[in-house]
A = this chain, B = another copy of it.
Amino acid sequence: MANDPAPEISTETATDPASHPLVVFTPSGKRGRFPVGTPVLTAARQLGVDLDSVCGGRGICSKCQITPSYGEFSKHGVTVADDALTEWNKVEQRYKDKRGLIDGRRLGCQAQVQGDVVIDVPPESQVHRQVVRKRAEARDITMNPSTRLYYVEVEEPDMHKPTGDMERLIEALDAQWDLKGVKTDLHILSVLQPALRKGGWKVTVAVHLGDENHPPKIMHIWPGFYEGSIYGLAVDLGSTTIAAHLCDLKTGEVVASSGIMNPQIRFGEDLMSRVSYSMMNKGGDQEMTRAVREGMNALFTQIAAEAEIDKALIVDAVFVCNPVMHHLFLGIDPFELGQAPFALATSNALALRAVELDLNIHPAARVYLLPCIAGHVGADAAAVALSEAPDKSEDLVLVVDVGTNAEILLGNKDKVLACSSPTGPAFEGAQISSGQRAAPGAIERVEINPETKEPRFRVIGSDIWSDEDGFAAAVATTGITGICGSGIIEAIAEMRMAGLLDASGLIGSAEQTGTTRCIQDGRTNAYLLWDGSVEGGPTITVTNPDIRAIQMAKAALYSGARLLMDKFGIDTVDRVVLAGAFGAHISAKHAMVLGMIPDCVLDKVTSAGNAAGTGARIALLNTKARSEIEATVQQIEKIETAVEPRFQEHFVNASAIPNSAEPFPILNSIVTLPEANFNTGGGDGNEDGGRRRRRRRG
């Protein structure tokens, strides 16, 4: 994926400069002398300059657009005269008149070299163009899709050389595009002969370029020159939602994004309950396989409609998912994943046909599933590894994909470790008394004044804090309905900082804290965040069981990370990347106060958004990235937390807020956490934290 530095290839030899002008390409810097009359595209090809062409130099596709520069270029040691390229010929002029060309642009296949010239290849004319990613630390995606379009002219049949039409098409692909050993999908044979004749023996074909195990194959054929594009899907198949990006395989652009709820939810909210469903119900796994595939097809119809393209133009799809979803999508009973030793049916990447998975896109569409790292660390984690590339990081990075099951990667270019940890659904607002999914009306940001112990907050859908003017109006439509994952993190961290919560996770009473917002709640206390009862809305409190649930979740997360740090032999990490939609909304400081993540310089804690989805998109657009991540996953060292003796110890330590054993020096240099102990000797102390049975998966 990295941009290779351009080698200074040169064919400058002892040729006569007058008859062989110098051609310098930018940005590659590649240069060489060519006979007067050489088309710019030809010169580019001979120098190995990355200049695109679909029509093979026939002035039809305009993919080879270049920008000649005129005047003096001391850097290149060349002066470019106004007549350095030929005048516009008929083909080029007709193209410009009919389709238009940006000022200064020429068609590389038509414009011929007449004198020394400097030629710029704009990004959109490069085959392996870069798809720029927004985040500063993320590397751009190099375009190298599985399937490309080729325009070819096919020899007509001859009784004396009775080869098939397909064989002559394949010969043409070899001769005109240097594509070797091309084969065909069967369905092409039914449409080949009419297409060739309708196109006057000129056709455009979509060729899947294959890999070391598969020869290139013709997937589609259009009579004449096909001006449209072909598309691919990057799909993040989650337990709760299925999200897809539809990408243009010519440009790399995302043309539509869409998502649906995973229809398997009716068989169980979380993964473990789906595994149970398949154990309890004969054929239950097949029901769930059908459901997810049907959902997938509904999503694809929806996304194609949104982009206003024909679904049959989708020729490739990449899927990332956790192991249970992976198995259910493939039609494998996830039974074995529900019990030690958590044996995957298959862990390697899979290259399949869409029809094998009952997906209604192009009849010959290909499907690629990223490899699974381990029984609990799925293809989604592999996709995060592809997107965030810890294996290419100079500094030591901890990548955490926060969900109901956290996948954790720790490493640098020398070594990468991976594990998963069963955080449960608390971070998504489940198991929380006033919890809800992140949706308008949910409290997402919380501050508590350490003096007054009074809270203020913001809800999703509004930028106004609850103590600011206009808040009531701003939330009039949505109401204040509950508290979402990031809100509960902030609330608990703020309570800890305000001295309302002790390190063991006990909320103080009104007497102990000096605020009436701490109210008795059975044998423990709760903190009143919002009393909506006056307006007939809900009363939102943070209860001690809520604290317990978050303690379990964050202790699982932290102890997984800490275990990897042990294995790596280090006590601190250089940076932390939070992946996942939830990770995108967590405040680094609050997460650290809670002890969710290891102590780290705050601005070295960043969010990668949906890194799994991004990994899927990278694998879709760049087939080289597929073999790269396959090799990387082989190298990743897998740690099974369930059988690691120190995991339990780390878990107990991490049950405290932030931690009963780790010092967190950086955190302590920013915030001072009040010493407090609200344990009155009886009742529901935190000492049960380590003993509670943890759920294996969420």
Q: Which residues of A contact B (CB under 8 A)?
A: 157-167, 181, 183-184, 186-187, 189-190, 192-194, 213-215, 330-333, 335-336, 340-348, 350, 352, 356, 372-375, 377, 638, 640, 642-643
Minimum CB distance partner of A641 in chain B: B159
The verdict on A159 contacting B340 (CB below 8 Å), with A181-B213, A193-B332 known, is yes
- Distance in Å: Cβ of A317 to nearest Cβ of chain B: 15
In the bound complex, how far is the Cα of B197 from the Cα of A335, in angstroms? 12
Which of chain B's residues have a CB closer than 8 A to the CB of A158? 341
Contact A345 B643, beta carbon cutoff 8 Å: no
**A213 CB contact (under 8 Å) in B215, B343, B377:** B215
Cβ-defined contact, A162 with B356, below 8 A: no
Ranked 9 nearest A-B pairs via Cβ = A162-B374, A164-B347, A157-B343, A166-B346, A164-B344, A164-B346, A159-B640, A159-B341, A157-B341
Taking the closest CB of chain B, its distance from the CB of A168, in whole angstroms, is 9
Docked Cα-Cα span, A192 to B347, in Å, equals 13
Q: Complex Cα distance A671/B377, Å?
A: 87
Q: Given the known A-B contacts A181-B213, A189-B332, A346-B184, are A640 and B160 also in contact in the complex, defined by CB atoms under 8 Å? A: yes
The complex places the Cα of A377 from the Cα of B335 at a distance, in Å, of 54
Oligomer copy total: 2
CB of A129, distance to nearest CB on chain B (Å): 31
Contacts A159-B640, A181-B213, A331-B190 known; A165 to B346 CB distance under 8 Å?
Answer: yes
Task: Give 28 CB contacts A-B under 8 Å.
Answer: A157-B342, A158-B341, A159-B341, A159-B642, A159-B643, A160-B643, A161-B638, A162-B342, A162-B638, A164-B372, A165-B344, A165-B346, A166-B345, A166-B347, A181-B213, A186-B350, A186-B356, A187-B331, A189-B331, A189-B332, A190-B345, A192-B332, A192-B346, A193-B335, A193-B343, A194-B333, A213-B214, A214-B214
Q: Are B640 and A193 in contact (CB under 8 A)?
A: no
Q: Which residues of B contact A331 (CB under 8 A)?
A: 186-187, 189-190
Say yes or no: B159 contacts A348, CB within 8 Å.
Answer: no
10 additional A-B pairs beyond A164-B372, A186-B331, beta carbons within 8 Å, are A162-B640, A166-B348, A167-B346, A186-B352, A189-B331, A189-B345, A190-B330, A192-B332, A194-B333, A213-B214
Chain B residues within an 8 Å CB radius of A350: 186
Q: For A375, what are the chain B residues with a Cβ–Cβ distance below 8 Å?
A: 159, 162
Q: Which residues of B contact A166 (CB under 8 A)?
A: 345-348
Identity of the chain B residue whose Cβ is nearest the Cβ of A356 in the assembled complex = B186
Distance (Å) between the CB of A215 and the closest chain B CB?
5
In the bound complex, CA of A194 to CA of B165 (Å): 47
Instruction: Give chain B nearest CB distance to A167 CB in angstroms.
Output: 6
Q: Among A164, A377, A638, find the residue whose CB has the most chain B CB atoms closer than 10 A.
A: A164
State how many angstroms separate the Cβ of A357 from the closest Cβ of chain B. Answer: 8
Question: What's the Cα separation between A336 and B192 when bound, in Å?
Answer: 11
> Which B-chain residue is minimally distant from A166 (CB atoms)?
B346
Among the listed B162, B165, B189, B345, which residue makes an inter-chain contact with A192, where contact means beta carbons less than 8 Å apart?
Answer: B345
Give Cα A642–Cα B160 distance, bound, in whole angstroms: 11
Contacts of A344 in B (CB 8 A): 162-165
B165 touching A330 by the CB < 8 A rule? no
Most buried by B among A345, A348, A350: A345
What is the bound-complex CA distance between A640 and B160, given in angstroms? 6
| Cα A345 to Cα B162 with chains together (Å) | 11
Q: How far is the CA of A193 from the CA of B346 in the complex (A)?
A: 10
Query: How many angstroms from the CA of A230 to the CA of B331 in the assembled complex?
Result: 25
- CB <8 Å contact, B193 and A345: yes
Tell me, in angstroms, the Cα distance from A336 to B643 when the chains sit together: 68
Cβ-defined contact, B336 with A163, below 8 A = no
Whether the pair B157, A193 counts as a contact (CB closer than 8 A) is no
Q: Closest approach, in angstroms, between the C-beta of A513 and any C-beta of chain B?
A: 45
Docked Cα-Cα span, A336 to B193, in Å, equals 8
Q: A332-B190, A332-B193 are in contact. Are A343 and B642 (CB under 8 A)?
A: no
A183: B residues at CB distance < 8 A = 213
Write out the residue numbers on chain B whose beta carbons fall within 8 Å of the beta carbon of A161.
638
The residues of B that contact A377 with a CB separation of less than 8 Å are 162
8 Å CB contact of A164 from B162, B181, B189, B348: B348
Complex contacts, A165 vs chain B, CB 8 Å: 336, 343-346
Instruction: Give min CB distance, A381 to chain B, whole Å.
Output: 12
Cβ–Cβ < 8 Å partners of A342 in chain B: 157, 159, 162
Min CB distance A690 to B, Å, is 22
Output the least CB separation between A370 and chain B (Å).
13
Contacts of A333 in B (CB 8 A): 190, 193-194
The CA-CA distance from A120 to B124 in the complex, in Å, is 70
Q: In the bound complex, how far is the Cα of B165 from the Cα of A348, in angstroms?
A: 10
A373 close to B193 (CB less than 8 A) = no
**Inter-chain contacts of A159 with B (CB < 8 A):** 340-342, 375, 640, 642-643
Residues of B within 8 A of A643 (CB): 159-160
Give chain B nearest CB distance to A88 CB in angstroms. 39
* Residues of B close to A348: CB separation below 8 A: 164, 166-167
Identity of the chain B residue whose Cβ is nearest the Cβ of A157 in the assembled complex: B343
Residue among B164, B343, B347, B640 making CB contact with A345, cutoff 8 Å: B164
Q: How far is the CA of A348 from the CA of B169 in the complex (A)?
A: 12
A163: nearest residue on chain B (CB-CB)?
B347
Do residues A189 and B346 form an inter-chain contact, with CB atoms below 8 A? yes
How distant is the Cα of A691 from the Cα of B162 in the complex, in angstroms?
27
For A192, list chain B residues within 8 Å (CB): 332, 345-346
Residue of B nearest to A418 (CB): B162
In the complex, A216→B184 CA distance in Å? 20
Chain B residues contacting A186 (CB-CB under 8 Å) are 330-331, 350, 352, 356
* Minimum C-beta distance from A523 to chain B (A): 39
In the complex, which residues of chain B have a beta carbon less than 8 angstroms from the beta carbon of A167? 346-348
Most chain B C-beta atoms within 10 Å of own C-beta, residue among A161, A330, A346 = A346
- In whole angstroms, what is the CA distance A659 to B435 when docked? 100
Checking B181, B214, B330 against A189 with a beta-carbon cut-off of 8 angstroms, the contacting residue is B330
CA distance A336 to B197 in the complex (A): 11
* Residues on the B chain within 8 Å of A642, using CB: 159
CB distance from A352 to the nearest CB of B (A): 6
Q: How far is the CB of A142 from chain B (nearest CB, A)?
A: 27
Q: How many Å lie between the Cα of A193 and that of B332 in the bound state?
A: 9
A183 to B, closest residue via Cβ: B213
Tell me which residues across on chain B come within 8 A of A213, comparing CB atoms.
181, 183, 214-215
- A630 to B128 CA separation, bound complex (whole angstroms): 37
